[in-house]
Amino acid sequence: MTQQTWTPEGRRPVVLAGGSQFVQDQVARACAAAGVAPHFAVDLARALPLEPAVLLLGADQAAGGLPGHRDVIVVGAADDETRAWAAAANLASSRVVILPQGAGWLAEHLGRRLNPAASGTVVGFLGAAGGAGVSTFAFWCARHAAGRGTSTLLVDGHPLGGGLDLALGIEERPGVRWGDLRDLRGTLNAEQLVAALPSDGRLAVLSHAAHSEGSGPHPGHGMESAGAVLDAARGAFDLSVVDLGSAGSAGIQSLVPLCDQLVLLVPSRPRSAVAVTRILEAYSPLPTTVVLRGPVLDGLDAWLVADLAGRAGPLPYLPFVRGSSAAEAGGRALDFPLPRRARKLVESVVAGLEKAG
């Protein structure tokens, strides 16, 4: 099989590296159902230069990590399922499809992934350092998008963060949390996801629980299901905002590759400003909006940090907002009114995300 398709940007949308003849046949059928023509590479070394939008790996090719690749799926046959899961364990951002059982899911995923008009946008919010206020800013943007009629999901990406719903004051509302999705395998229905989540108007929230989620230790806290959850979110919401925390947060490597865009919040501090370049390089495949977080120190204004980040002109600037921390501590974040300058910045960022998405 040698069908080849190039996207307008010059990339082959779907590339399978390795895999048996049976796996190749099943992938070809799934791609046909999704309306895309796959390209088949003998191995990973030949697949990566093709810059696929979606990289499918035969179990024999998934021996090492793939830093920076945005959509990686390990595919295997039913009689080789154990090896496929073992191979996927070596990849920080992988999902597994067992064929032929998973062919329908694969076709549906490819259809959504390669037809942006038919799917929502996933945006990760990331801090250049701890204490940047990423959770707060992510929530403000999600609340604003929902308030103007966009169906929006706010995703808590902090497995050890104590639960984002606690800051919003909705920790007692019924609905699923990450821990309830811990054992999820395969697909998640978009409509079921919407119905299961706690919400406030058009804003739904997927949080880690503020209270204990069972008696035993669960290091992943449900995050191993992130691929399936965000796939369902694309079909259920126009916009999904993922609170990733700081660049060194636990679990970030499994979530960043699932995002379409990033928003990087940079505190006006020397170490944060210097770290910008490295962070942008680490996640260079993703379009990234850089925002400077106040208060601004002398010599670290929006112009200087923009220069360090390799951006033209001053960075968008989020001023220090008095009272926001107290509102979160009291579980009153949902009702906290933004001052005009911060509100204008949030409106601008959200408009840019929606335009890019």
Q: Say whether pLDDT at 21 is over 90.
A: yes
Q: Which residue do the tokens 């669960």 mark?
A: 218
Confidence of residue 281 (pLDDT cuts 50, 70, 90): confident
The per-residue pLDDT for 243 is 95
Mean pLDDT (the chain) is 83
48-64 residues labelled b (16+ CB within 10 A) or e (exposed): eebbbbbbbbbbbbbee
Query: Would the CA dihedral through 218, 170, 230, 258 be positive or negative?
Result: negative
pLDDT in tens, 115-139: 655 578 999 999 998 888 999 999 9
Confidence of residue 62 (pLDDT cuts 50, 70, 90): low
pTM over 0.75: no
